[in-house]
Amino acid sequence: MTDKDIFIPHNFLGLPANYCSFRKSKFVILPIPYEGTSSYKTGTRYGPQAIINASKQVEFYDQDLKAEPYKKGICTLDELEPAVSRPEQMIQAIHRAAKGLLNKGKILIGLGGEHTITIGLVKAFKERYKDISVLQLDAHADLRDSYQGSKYSHACVMKRINELCNYVGVGIRSLSREEASFARKQGMEIFSAKEMKDDPSFVERVLSCLSENVYLTFDLDYFDPSIMPAVGTPEPGGPLWYETLDFLKKVTENRNIVGLDLVELSPLPGIVAPDFIAARLLYKIMGYISFRTGRG
């Protein structure tokens, strides 16, 4: 890439047009600035744009992979306009949009917004991949049946996902007694952040619970607040950067990540590090998917 290339501010990484056309791109990013059920700190509707803005400072070359993942093509679509009435309507709109994009054979990335958006995305992926399972990286179990009068609150996301397909929760360190009881009765696989740190067989145990095709939902409050304070509901005791990358690399080497979302960034005025971490994380995941090394 040379200085003569024309950069487009709307695009992830600020990529020039020849690397972000829909037809040629391996990855398609759908920004979804929806925030309708936030219960603590608000601001996730500004998350997608903050991540895209920060991404323009991400270096194209990945030092670990010794490659430039952007050359696979990354198309950034216009924002999906939020429905302001009920979360059910927004979920339906996301499902319709995702279904249309999946028919084009792309790896779809939902950029939130609050975690509620995942329901519509997974619904579309489940219709395309019958054997799909979901890998949830999150601080919270999100297994409430209803919260603040809505069954589609961000606190109910994984309960709704569980009604669609199997899933595995990783990094969990906050859940109610009712959520813990439900998980035990259902035999759900939920791995705490402490387990991730202390159990040498952790990765193998997670992989054994996942099908070949995997959808990744990454709630940024999964990270410890020391590196990711810009989330709606921060929780202490979360994983850090390198251990997370090691885990994600092993997952992508051993399973087929068919789509993902990155949610719950609530930007902090004057503090750009969380925005950059989110952008860098997303580019790292795209790199791991593009250059899988573990399976030939």
pLDDT of residue 84: 63
| Mean pLDDT within 189-206 | 93
What's the token pair of residue 77?
């679509």
Q: Which residues of 129-168 are buried (b: 16+ CB within 10 A; e: fewer)?
A: beebbbbbbbbbbbbbeebeebebbbbbbbbbbbeebebb
Name the residue among 278, 31, 34 with its Cα closest to residue 153: 34
pLDDT of residue 17: 83
User: What is the band of 51 on the pLDDT scale with cuts at 50, 70, 90?
Assistant: very high
Give the range among 164-168, 187-191, 282-286 with minimum mean pLDDT. 187-191
User: What is the band of 149 on the pLDDT scale with cuts at 50, 70, 90?
Assistant: low
Q: Whole-prediction pTM value?
A: 0.93
pLDDT score of 242 more than 50: yes
pLDDT of residue 1: 43
pLDDT of residue 293: 56
Tell me the pLDDT tens digit for each residue of 62-72: 999 999 999 99
| Helix (H) / strand (E) containing 182 | helix 177-186
pLDDT score of 151 more than 50: yes
What CA–CA distances, in Å, run from 89 to 34, 52, 84, 121, 141?
11, 26, 8, 13, 24
Q: What whole-number distance in Å separates Cα of residue 200 and Cα of residue 280?
A: 27
Q: Which amino acid is at 235?
A: E
> DSSP assignment, residue 67?
B
Domain ranges of the chain: 12-290
| Mean pLDDT within 265-272 | 96
Tell me the pLDDT tens digit for each residue of 115-144: 999 999 999 999 999 999 999 999 999 998
CATH number, domain 12-290 = 3.40.800.10
